[in-house]
């Protein structure tokens, strides 16, 4: 997809969307060589930056904040999948596409890779072009895109919120789901708490974190048909 196609695609997506946790399109600028979209300004940076790039800001992101962010992003995806006339698959859910405002309210952004899905067609074929670490294993192998591909990527974001770890370490780029595999190796074991972010792990948050971890595990099921819908996740 070239820049002009991506630009047109994003305009089409955003003109029909109205949700408090999806970034608002203000307008566009056609006076540059490559057309530019103009969005509302979100001052807090990305979730990725806050979790992984700035230790002080990461500590400030409490479990209460992280749980609310998970709910807000889940509601935005549920809206895209189930509550508009023609469902939209985002196709690039990742923490760097989740913006945070000054109160850490989540705003989903970047619809350049998204696809409108006719109501009678539950999947589309497309080339794999998503971000390493978030790729649905079924999608990566078959190039068949369904709403459950977004569900899988959302599951990875849940793991980032739970653990504070990046999906893939730079030295492990051949391992497309290193955080997922690391999480699954601890899942159901007595020492499961060791994988959770110790900076926010407290006795009063343990049960909630375990519950969210179970939801993440369901989202990350290798079989897409076994994953919940985003409506069910929310």
**Residues tagged active-site:** 92
pLDDT above 90 covers a percentage of the chain that reads 44
How many domains in the chain? Answer: 1
Name residues whose C-beta falls within 8 Å of residue 124's C-beta, 6 or more positions apart in sequence. Answer: 89, 115, 117, 144, 145
Query: What CATH number does the domain containing 227 carry?
Result: 1.10.510.10
pLDDT in tens, 17-71: 889 999 888 887 778 777 777 888 888 899 999 999 876 666 678 999 999 999 9
The pLDDT of residue 14 is 72
**Dist. CA 122–CA 112, nearest whole Å:** 20
Query: With 50 as the cut, is the pLDDT of residue 223 above it?
Result: yes
The pLDDT of residue 31 is 80
Q: How confident is the model at residue 118 (pLDDT cuts 50, 70, 90)?
A: very low
Query: With 70 as the cut, is the pLDDT of residue 127 above it?
Result: no
Instruction: Supply the range of the domain harboring residue 105.
Output: 3-233
**Dist. CA 212–CA 194, nearest whole Å:** 15
And the tokens for 95? 């923490």
Give the pTM: 0.85
Buried b (16+ CB within 10 A) or exposed e, 113-123: bbeebeeeeeb
Phi, psi of 71 (to 5 degrees): -65, -45
pLDDT in tens, 80-111: 998 887 788 888 899 999 999 989 999 998 76
């Amino acid at each position: 997809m070239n820049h002009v196609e991506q630009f047109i695609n994003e305009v089409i997506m955003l003109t029909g969307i109205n949700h408090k946790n999806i970034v608002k399109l203000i307008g566009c600028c056609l006076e540059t060589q490559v057309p530019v979209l103009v969005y509302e300004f979100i001052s807090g940076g990305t979730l990725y930056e806050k979790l992984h790039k700035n230790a002080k800001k990461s500590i400030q992101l409490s479990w209460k904040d992280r749980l609310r962010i998970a709910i807000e992003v889940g509601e935005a995806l549920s809206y895209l999948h189930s509550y508009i006339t023609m469902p939209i698959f985002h196709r690039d859910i990742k923490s760097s596409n989740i913006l945070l405002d000054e109160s850490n309210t989540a705003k989903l952004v970047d619809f350049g890779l998204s696809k409108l899905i006719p109501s009678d067609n539950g999947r589309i074929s497309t080339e794999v072009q998503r971000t390493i670490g978030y790729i649905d294993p079924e999608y990566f192998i078959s190039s068949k895109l369904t709403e459950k591909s977004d569900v899988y990527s959302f599951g990875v974001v849940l793991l980032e919120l739970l653990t504070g770890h990046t999906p893939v370490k730079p030295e492990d780029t051949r391992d497309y789901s290193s955080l997922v595999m690391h999480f699954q190796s601890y899942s159901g074991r007595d020492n499961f708490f060791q994988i959770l972010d110790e900076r926010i792990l407290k006795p009063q948050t343990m049960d909630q974190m375990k519950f969210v971890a179970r939801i993440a595990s369901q989202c990350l099921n290798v079989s897409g048909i076994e994953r919940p819908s985003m409506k069910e996740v929310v």
